[in-house]
Amino acid sequence: MVPKILCSILTLILLNACQSTASGEIAFKEDETRITLVEEMDLLAIEYTITNKTEQIKGPYYTKILFQNETISNLIGLTESSPYKRIGNKESIINLNNGDSFRSGESFEITGKYLVDDLREIIENSNAIEIQLIDLEDEEPEKAYWIHDFKIKH
């Protein structure tokens, strides 16, 4: 009798644990988060999608992009960027219902000389550009993602 009760309790614990992890989390969608070099305009365009895989409403958040590589930071003249901090409008605030996604992006003018192969090497093989989802209330990152997907638009 005792082994059956213990087995039942363990089964309930495992089922409960599986249920809570199955509900997911807030995540950046890797296949929809990328950096594109628009050569003809000398722009770095950053696109991202954030998905709420939880069963709760999440937010309010805003995004911040950090340029952790000195070469890239010098080329665009910034170490970080946040539309919410720069503009301060309500359109920049992110609230996600369960299952919802939020898609956005920013473009940055490249003001210096660069080689495409050097940019590709930096972005694909180092932690050069990080995007953070910041909790609006405590100003702490809820999620962060290093962007390594690099495309070129001619």
Q: Show Cβ contacts of residue 23 under 8 Å, excluding neighbours closer than 6 positions.
A: 53, 54, 55
Q: What is the pLDDT of residue 88?
A: 77
Q: What sign for the dihedral angle of Cα 139, 141, 147, 153?
A: negative
Beta carbons of 76 and 44 less than 8 angstroms apart: yes
Tell me the per-residue pLDDT of 56-80, one tens digit each, with 9 for 90 and over: 999 999 999 999 999 999 999 999 9
Question: DSSP code of 124?
Answer: H
Tell me the per-residue pLDDT of 2-12, one tens digit each, with 9 for 90 and over: 444 433 333 33
The structure's pTM equals 0.82
Beta carbons of 133 and 63 less than 8 angstroms apart: yes
Phi then psi for 109, rounded to 5 degrees? -75, 135
Rounded to an integer, what distance in angstroms lies between the CA atom of residue 149 and that of residue 67? Answer: 15
- State what percent of residues in the chain have pLDDT above 90: 77
Q: Show Cβ contacts of residue 145 under 8 Å, excluding neighbours closer than 6 positions.
A: 28, 33, 48, 130, 131, 132
What's the CATH number for 23-153?
2.60.40
